[in-house]
């Protein structure tokens, strides 16, 4: 601990997170009547991924660990022979060290349909050509699969049998690194010759760290020096009523991809260590906690690791919703728009909001809410967390529903993207009304700092491609009650410290409409827009400490790690987003509307130009703000 204490949890902090004896399934699991692998319930009962189960005890039998549920049944939680865990366990004594499983031999649980184009394909009893053949499929056969494997030179589909057991059908061969497919995926509204296979984003050979998220950080000498220096800077500007908030943006945690993506877990632990040992009042992870390009089981485990690391802070912490957090990007880009791999809102809430400090601030709604308000104890300062990806779960027959009601004016829109969180920003009316009422109910001396992942400001200005905010197609794709939220902010600007966001992966700021609009760069160094980020080392973190002096009405932003200077980058954008899957025949009303185009904003006009040299600009890091 620093010998220059600046706050020492005067207002908050020191919030322990005891084991709540819960287990969240990372994959579908069958209920057992006893702690034995073969002791299946009759009839068989399967719980889906994301389910939260309360348990009373752990039991280890043979090669497996189980939990005994409060109902007296059992669920397997880990395979001890392979060090594979089947879900997120709240017990701090259970090892959760990331298992960077090699590409070869890993089972990727995912559902789909595969249509055979080869003359015949044989089904084997194991993903091995030497295994016995049980049946043969002819060209044109459609195979429903429940998982994929990769062996050294082949990819395999796991086929589930109605009478029990599984079979394995080869569907791809690798020769000198070139893939030869023996069929077509049948997905959504179109058939594709192939999808990006789930093992594409698995590169364990590049990952050298195996952080245990349950173990508090043991700082290196350099880290300890850096922490003490940061504490000294805070002490220089802190007063008796100071509130100090830790902030980290866009960690894009992915334990299976690159060293940079895996090492953001270390940064979460570092921020947590600083919060606990130097006295922060609260922590905010402002969206894109995980990267969202892995299968559902890995996504659930990564979110659990991140939340577990934040729990070591013993400090109230809150997580806003980003466009990567539910891994709908995986469904969009890799999985043919199927929803079985997308983290549901219920599962996301179970993972991110089950700890007391988050669950207590959420409004009571019929569906999980990812927004709320936290009043820092004994202080006039409150934190408001908003969800700029406020999109309900919506699917039909295993695929995303099409919804044309909210298509942005003037945009070429394929419809299928509307129900994929990764592709749009949205604020539902219920959240906007909650925010308006919350701001109206503020005490006269109360001051609020607002956190969102995507920018609120870009919804109502033509300057989203100008001096503030990088060129971002989300700015032209904001739906719902954005304008109401923005107007509420302006109406109460005298009580707003700042509006903090991330998403654009640069440091930026503006002071329009009497509001401090501040964005924080991406913590993952290989995801930043600047040239520096492309060549950064895994330890090159970037997180903030926000020092709020409510009497002086001053905000100081201090950075641990790297920060952006003013910069820009030019790129040739050659086509619109979208994938051309809208194969409907336009009706008469739609055809007439094409003859009477609605008035569009400058941003929409710029965006609809299919080829354009765009210049992304940012103003860099700024430390001091009056409000």
Residue 550 inside a domain? The answer is: yes
pLDDT bin (cut points 50, 70, 90) of residue 193 is very low
Nearest alpha carbon to residue 457 among 499, 419, 502: 499
Cβ(50)–Cβ(347) below 8 Å: yes
Is residue 438 domain-shared with residue 494, that is, in the same domain?
yes
Stated pTM of the model? 0.88
Nearest alpha carbon to residue 148 among 104, 96, 82, 203: 104
| Distance between CA atoms of residues 622 and 413, nearest Å | 37
Residue 454 inside a domain? The answer is: yes
Residue 215 inside a domain? The answer is: no
Between the two ends of the chain, the Cα-to-Cα distance in Å is 31
Name every residue whose Cβ is closer than 8 Å to that of residue 537 and which is 6 or more positions away in sequence: 525
Residue 552 inside a domain? The answer is: yes
b vs e for 162-180, b when ≥16 Cβ sit within 10 Å of the residue's Cβ? eeeebbbbbbbeeeeeeee
Is residue 26 domain-shared with residue 68, that is, in the same domain?
yes
Nearest alpha carbon to residue 555 among 518, 504, 501: 518
Query: Which of these three, 521, 537, 563, is where a domain ends?
Result: 563
Query: Which of these three, 89, 118, 141, is where a domain ends?
Result: 89
Q: What is the pLDDT of residue 414?
A: 42
Residue 154 inside a domain? The answer is: yes
Q: What is the tens place of the pLDDT at every residue in 259-285?
A: 888 989 999 999 999 999 999 999 999
Q: What is the pLDDT of residue 39?
A: 94
The better pLDDT of the pair 17, 414 is held by: 17
pLDDT bin (cut points 50, 70, 90) of residue 535 is very low
Q: What is the tens place of the pLDDT at every residue in 32-42?
A: 999 999 999 99
Q: What is the CATH number of the domain that holds 68?
A: 2.30.30.40
Residue 9 inside a domain? The answer is: no
Phi, psi angle pair for 509, to nearest 5°: -165, 160
Q: What is the tens place of the pLDDT at every residue in 437-483?
A: 999 999 999 999 999 998 887 544 433 333 333 345 555 556 778 88
CA distance to 87, 389, 464, 504, 608, per residue, from 473 (Å): 35, 14, 9, 11, 10
Is residue 49 domain-shared with residue 153, that is, in the same domain?
no
- Measured in whole angstroms, the distance separating CA 294 from the mean position of its chain's CA atoms is 11
Residue 2 inside a domain? The answer is: no
pLDDT bin (cut points 50, 70, 90) of residue 51 is very high
Cβ(55)–Cβ(68) below 8 Å: yes
Q: Which of 63-67, 186-190, 234-238 has the lowest mean pLDDT?
A: 186-190
Q: Which of 206-215, 290-299, 441-450 has the lowest mean pLDDT?
A: 206-215
Q: Give the mean pLDDT of the chain.
A: 82
Q: What is the pLDDT of residue 533?
A: 47
Is residue 524 domain-shared with residue 439, that is, in the same domain?
yes
| Distance between CA atoms of residues 324 and 118, nearest Å | 37
Is residue 320 domain-shared with residue 457, that is, in the same domain?
yes
Name every residue whose Cβ is closer than 8 Å to that of residue 140 and which is 6 or more positions away in sequence: 115, 116
Phi, psi angle pair for 519, to nearest 5°: -120, 145
Q: What is the pLDDT of residue 187?
A: 65
- The string of DSSP codes covering 398-416 is TEEPP--TTPPTT----SG
Q: What is the pLDDT of residue 467?
A: 34
pLDDT bin (cut points 50, 70, 90) of residue 230 is very high
Q: What is the pLDDT of residue 536?
A: 45
Residue 7 inside a domain? The answer is: no
Domains identified in the chain, total number: 3
Is residue 380 domain-shared with residue 259, that is, in the same domain?
yes
Is residue 355 domain-shared with residue 438, that is, in the same domain?
yes
Cβ(284)–Cβ(383) below 8 Å: yes
Nearest alpha carbon to residue 395 among 416, 424, 367, 426: 416
Cis? peptide before 472, omega within 30° of 0: no
| Bridging pattern class, strands 567-573 and 542-549 | unpaired
Q: 543: burial class by Cβ within 10 Å (0-12, 13-18, 19+)? A: buried
As a three-state string, the secondary structure of 456-497 is CHHHCCHHHHCCCCCCCHHHHCEEECHHHHHHHHHHCHHHEE
| Distance between CA atoms of residues 79 and 65, nearest Å | 7
Is residue 58 domain-shared with residue 179, that is, in the same domain?
no
Query: Which of these three, 89, 117, 148, is where a domain ends?
Result: 89
Q: What is the tens place of the pLDDT at every residue in 327-354?
A: 887 876 677 777 788 899 999 999 998 7
CA triple 291-297-300, angle to 5 deg? 55
Is residue 383 domain-shared with residue 438, that is, in the same domain?
yes
Sign of CA dihedral 31, 33, 35, 40: negative
Is residue 263 domain-shared with residue 156, that is, in the same domain?
no
Mean pLDDT value of segment 498-525? 92
Name every residue whose Cβ is closer than 8 Å to that of residue 82 and which is 6 or more positions away in sequence: 99
Cβ(305)–Cβ(253) below 8 Å: yes
Residue 77: which domain range?
Answer: 22-89
Q: How many H helices and E strands in the chain?
A: 11, 35
Is residue 154 domain-shared with residue 116, that is, in the same domain?
yes
CA triple 70-76-81, angle to 5 deg? 150
pLDDT bin (cut points 50, 70, 90) of residue 118 is very high
Is residue 271 domain-shared with residue 122, that is, in the same domain?
no
Q: What is the tens place of the pLDDT at every residue in 74-94?
A: 999 999 888 888 999 998 787
| Distance between CA atoms of residues 6 and 239, nearest Å | 8
Torsion region of 609: left, alpha or beta (phi above 0 gives left; psi -120 to 50 gives alpha): beta
Cβ(400)–Cβ(420) below 8 Å: yes
Q: What is the CATH number of the domain that holds 321?
A: 3.60.21.10
């Amino acid at each position: 601990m620093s010998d220059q204490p600046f706050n020492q949890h005067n207002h908050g902090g020191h919030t322990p997170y005891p084991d709540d004896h819960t287990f969240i399934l990372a994959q579908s699991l069958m209920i057992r009547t006893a702690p034995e692998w073969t002791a299946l319930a009759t009839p068989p009962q399967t719980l889906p991924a994301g389910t939260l189960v309360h348990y009373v005890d752990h039991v280890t039998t043979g090669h497996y660990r189980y939990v005994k549920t409060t109902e007296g049944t059992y669920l397997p939680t880990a395979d001890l022979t392979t060090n594979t865990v089947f879900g997120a366990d709240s017990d701090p004594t259970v090892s959760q060290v990331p298992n960077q499983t090699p590409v070869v031999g890993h089972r990727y649980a995912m559902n789909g349909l595969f249509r055979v184009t080869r003359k015949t394909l044989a089904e084997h009893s194991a993903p091995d050509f030497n295994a016995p053949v049980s049946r043969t499929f002819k060209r044109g056969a459609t195979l429903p699969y429940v998982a994929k494997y990769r062996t050294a030179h082949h990819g395999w589909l796991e086929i589930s049998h109605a009478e029990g057991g599984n079979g394995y059908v080869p569907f791809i061969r690798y020769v000198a690194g070139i893939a030869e497919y023996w069929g077509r995926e049948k997905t959504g509204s179109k058939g594709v010759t192939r999808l990006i296979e789930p093992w594409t984003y698995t590169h364990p050979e590049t990952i050298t760290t195996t952080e245990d998220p349950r173990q508090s950080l043991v700082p290196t000498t350099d880290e300890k020096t850096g922490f003490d220096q940061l504490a000294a800077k805070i002490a220089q500007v802190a007063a008796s009523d100071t509130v100090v908030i830790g902030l980290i943006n866009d960690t894009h945690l992915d334990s299976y991809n690159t060293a940079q993506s895996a090492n953001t877990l270390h940064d979460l632990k570092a921020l947590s260590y600083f919060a606990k040992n130097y006295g922060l009042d609260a922590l905010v992870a402002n969206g894109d906690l995980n990267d969202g390009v892995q299968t559902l089981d890995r996504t659930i485990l990564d979110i659990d690791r991140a939340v577990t690391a934040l729990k070591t802070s013993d400090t109230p912490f809150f997580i806003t919703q980003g466009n990567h957090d539910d891994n709908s990007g995986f469904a969009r880009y890799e999985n043919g728009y199927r929803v079985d791999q997308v983290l549901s809102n219920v599962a996301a809430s179970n993972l991110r909001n089950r700890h007391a400090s988050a669950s207590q601030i959420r409004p009571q709604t019929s569906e999980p809410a990812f927004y709320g308000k936290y009043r820092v104890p004994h202080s006039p300062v409150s934190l408001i967390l908003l969800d700029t990806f406020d999109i309900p779960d919506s699917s039909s027959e295993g695929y995303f529903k099409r919804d044309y009601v909210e298509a942005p004016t003037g945009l070429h829109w394929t419809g299928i993207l509307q129900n994929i969180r990764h592709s749009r920003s949205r604020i539902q009316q219920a959240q906007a009304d909650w925010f308006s009422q919350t701001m109206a109910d503020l005490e006269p001396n109360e001051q609020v700092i607002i956190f969102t992942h995507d920018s609120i400001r870009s919804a109502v200005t033509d300057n989203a491609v100008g001096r503030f905010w990088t060129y971002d197609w989300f700015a032209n794709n904001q739906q719902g009650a954005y304008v109401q939220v923005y107007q509420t902010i302006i109406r109460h600007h005298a009580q707003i410290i700042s509006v903090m966001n991330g998403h654009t992966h640069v440091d930026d700021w503006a002071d329009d409409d009497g509001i401090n609009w501040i964005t924080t760069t991406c913590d993952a160094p290989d995801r930043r827009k600047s040239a520096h980020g492309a060549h950064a080392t895994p330890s090159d973190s970037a997180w903030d400490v926000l020092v709020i002096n409510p009497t002086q009405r001053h905000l100081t932003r201090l950075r641990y790690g790297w920060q952006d200077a003013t910069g820009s980058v030019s790129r040739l954008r050659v086509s619109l987003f979208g994938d051309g899957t809208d194969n409907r025949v336009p009706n008469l009303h739609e055809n007439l509307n094409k003859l009477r185009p609605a008035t569009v904003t400058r941003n929409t006009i710029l965006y609809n130009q299919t080829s354009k040299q765009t210049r992304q600009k940012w103003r860099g890091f700024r430390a001091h703000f009056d409000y």
